[in-house]
Structure 1
Amino acid sequence: MATGATTMTRLRGLVVIVAWLVFVADLQAQAPQRIVSIIPAVTEILFAIGAGPQVVGVGSYDNYPPEIGDLPRVGGLIDPDVEAILALRPNLVVLYITQVDLTTQLTRAGIPLFEYSHGTLADIPTTIRRLGNRTGHAAEADKVALDIEDGLVRIAEAVSRRHRPRTLLVIAREPYSLRNLFASGGSGFQHDMLELAGAKNVLDGTMRRAVQVTTEMILQAAPDVVIEVRTVERLSPAEIEKEMEVWNALPSLPAVQNQNVIFLTGSDLVIPGPRIVQAITRFALVLHPDAPLPTQ
Structure 2
Amino acid sequence: MKWSGIALLALSAVAQAAVSARDGDGHELTLDKPAARIVSLVPHATELLFAAGAGSKVVAAVDYSDHPEAAKKLPRVGGYTGFSLEAVLRQQPDLVVAWKDGGTPREVERLRRMGIPVFISHPLQPDDIAAEIVKLGKLAGTEAAANRAAAQYRQRFAELRQRYAAKPKVKVFYQLSQTPIFTISGKSYIDSLIRVCGGVNVFGELAVPAPQVSTAAVVAAQPQAIIAGDDATLAMWQSWRSVPAVAKGALYALPGDEISIPGPRLADGAAALCGRLDAARRQLGLTAN
Same fold (TM over 0.5): yes
Q: What's 2:259 paired with? A: 269
Moved more, 212-221 or 246-255: 246-255
Q: What's 1:237 paired with? A: none
TM-score by length of 1: 0.80
CA drift at 1:97:
2.7
Q: Tell me if the contact between 2:52 and 2:134 (Cα under 8 Å) persists in the aligned partners.
A: no
Give the secondary-structure state (helix, strand or coil) at the position aligned to 1:269: coil
Structure 1, gaps ≥5 residues long: 1-23, 230-239, 292-296
Pairwise CA RMSD = 2.1
Looking at structure 1, the residues matched to 243 and 83 of structure 2 have their Cα atoms a distance apart, in angstroms, of 42
Moved more, 97-106 or 156-165: 97-106
| CA deviations over 1:115-160 (Å, ceiling 9, x no partner) | 1123112211111111111111112111111111111111011112
Q: What's 1:250 paired with? A: 240
Q: Which has the larger radius of gyration?
A: 1
| CA deviations over 1:8-62 (Å, ceiling 9, x no partner) | xxxxxxxxxxxxxxxx976943221111101111111111121111011111132
CA drift at 1:259:
0.9
Q: What's 1:280 paired with? A: 270
Change (3 A) 1:148 1:228: same
| CA deviations over 1:195-226 (Å, ceiling 9, x no partner) | 10121111111143211111011111111100
Q: What's 1:225 paired with? A: 225
Give the secondary-structure state (helix, strand or coil) at the position aligned to 1:115: strand
Moved more, 245-254 or 260-269: 245-254
Looking at structure 2, the residues matched to 43 and 25 of structure 1 have their Cα atoms a distance apart, in angstroms, of 24
Q: Tell me if the contact between 1:191 and 1:209 (Cα under 8 Å) persists in the aligned partners.
A: no
Looking at structure 2, the residues matched to 241 and 25 of structure 1 have their Cα atoms a distance apart, in angstroms, of 53
Tell whether 2:66 aligns with 1:63. yes
Select the residue among 82, 98, 103 that pairs with 2:108.
Answer: 103
Structure 2, gaps ≥5 residues long: 1-15, 20-30, 282-289
Looking at structure 1, the residues matched to 66 and 199 of structure 2 have their Cα atoms a distance apart, in angstroms, of 29
Looking at structure 2, the residues matched to 281 and 179 of structure 1 have their Cα atoms a distance apart, in angstroms, of 28
Q: What's 1:149 paired with? A: 154
Moved more, 241-250 or 147-156: 241-250
Percentage of pairs with the same residue: 28
Q: Tell me if the contact between 2:123 and 2:132 (Cα under 8 Å) persists in the aligned partners.
A: no
Q: What's 1:167 paired with? A: 172
